[in-house]
Chain A
Amino acid sequence: MKFKSILDAVGNTPLVEVPRLAPADNVRIWVKLEGQNPTGSVKDRIAIALVEAGEASGELTADKIMLEPTSGNTGIALAMVASTRGYRFTAVMPDNASAERVQLLRAFGADIIFSEGSKGTNGSVAMAQELAEDPKYYMPFQYGNPANVDAHYNGTGREILEDLPEVKAFVAGLGTGGTLMGVGKRLKEHDPSIKIVAAEPELGELVYGLRSLEDGYIPPIFDPEMLDGKVKVRARESILWTRELLRKEGIFAGISAGAVIWVAQRVGERLSADGGGDIACLLPDGGWKYMSTEAWTQDIETAESQVEEVLWW
């Protein structure tokens, strides 16, 4: 494969069957390895779409600094796209994001403004929205920008259907909602009976120590009607299933991938009773950025507490 630019190497990720993780004989689970993208996460797809949308609308010009709230992956991807196009980029990120994410952002030349870790990504969103009132910034805003959804409708969803037209269910993590909305729309246009199920993190008390419900946040691009189910997953199950992926299938994925696989088990049990079929799962990133949590090498209690200290979603 030859590419003119690193940006052309984004997408067309492998869809790999994981037979040892299928919950029944008549169910097949396939995982889309988004860690294979250039910066190592699914967010490369939306970073290109967000920047191109900003350029097309005329809002993103050479004199602007791009500013984005992120738990890490979107920031790293935007920093990569920014560097190929000559923009400056500033990430607004909770101060408890993993050390690897901070280092990667800096390596890609991004500036970082830290928001209060106890407020999670919600706190970064609020802070970035205030900062973005300064006209020197252009904020693509992944939580509200339809380009996020479009990237998954035109890319991720199309690729899944090309590889697996018989797909019966799709499972992905819920962050901005972009993946679930975009892939969900594409899959349901193909076959309205395809089930779209979200895995949602149950974060530690640290993040839920929110003072009031008004600190809650629902991304504007998220439409709850697109989903057929939503299941919450604790850090412990996510770690255990991330380990299963590595041990049984040789796939080194990030912590949230374990949450997706755990939810796929439940979806698979129901699908099995309903005649069986194929489930596509989106694994957003590789395990590299989570090494400092010792998720694979420590006993589960220690690993759990160390994962809960960082933002793993």
Chain B
Amino acid sequence: MPVEVRIPTVFRRFTGDRSVVEVGPGTIAEVIDQLEAQHPGFREQIITSEGELHRFVNIYVNDEDARYLEKLDTKVDEGDTISLLPSVAGG
């Protein structure tokens, strides 16, 4: 089973308008490498020049924010779902 990556509207111009992209398992960093290989230009949208996750992007592995797991080293297994979402405020 592949890993499903859900792409928000703001990034779909890099995925040929697709809302879901399938990749193989690995760490989040490896998943981003696969996304970059499939859709060149994707990486620089979510990773800063310092190699950190862009502060306005949240990456979730099965609903949990990866910042509170192992960040870019978080393991992603077959069948997992990764979601990329922009930060929004409430209140």
Please give the residue numbers on chain A whose beta carbons come within 8 Å of chain B beta carbons, in ascending order: 43, 70-71, 73-74, 120-122, 125, 142-143, 173-176, 178, 200-203, 205, 207-219, 224, 227-233, 256, 313
Contact = CB atoms under 8 A, between A and B. Distances in A.
Given A208-B86, A213-B54, A216-B56, A71 B9 contact: no
A216 to B, nearest CB: 3
17 contacts: A71-B91, A120-B89, A121-B91, A175-B89, A175-B91, A176-B89, A176-B90, A200-B65, A201-B88, A202-B85, A211-B10, A214-B56, A218-B55, A227-B68, A228-B68, A232-B60, A232-B63
Contacts of A174: 90
Contacts of A200: 58, 65
Interface string B1-41: 00000001110000000000000000000000000000000
A71 B90 contact: yes
A260 to B, nearest CB: 13
Instruction: Tell me what chain A mostly uses at the interface: helix, strand, loop, or mixed.
Output: mixed
A207 B64 contact: no
B91 A232 contact: no
A89 B5 CA distance: 44
B10 A230 contact: no
A228 B68 CA distance: 6
Interface of B: 8-10, 45, 54-58, 60, 63-65, 67-68, 83, 85-91
Given A208-B9, A230-B68, A120 B88 contact: yes
Contact of B8 (A73, A74, A201, A208): A208
Contacts, number: 94
Given A208-B10, A211-B10, A229 B87 contact: no
A267 to B, nearest CB: 11
B65 A230 contact: yes
A-B CB proximity, top 6 nearest? A175-B90, A216-B56, A230-B65, A313-B90, A175-B91, A176-B91
Given A122-B88, A175-B90, A232-B85, A212 B10 contact: yes
Given A174-B90, A176-B90, A218 B56 contact: yes
B15 to A, nearest CB: 15
Contacts of A215: 86
Contacts of A201: 88, 90
Contacts of B58: 200, 230, 232
Contacts of A216: 56-57, 86-88
Contacts of B56: 213-214, 216-218
Contacts of A210: 9-10, 86
Query: Max chain A CB contacts within 10 Å: which of B63, B87, B91?
Result: B91
A173 B90 contact: yes
A230 B67 contact: yes
Contacts of B89: 120-122, 125, 143, 175-176, 217-219
Nearest to B45: A213
Contacts of B57: 213, 216
Query: Max chain B CB contacts within 10 Å: which of A232, A233, A313?
Result: A232
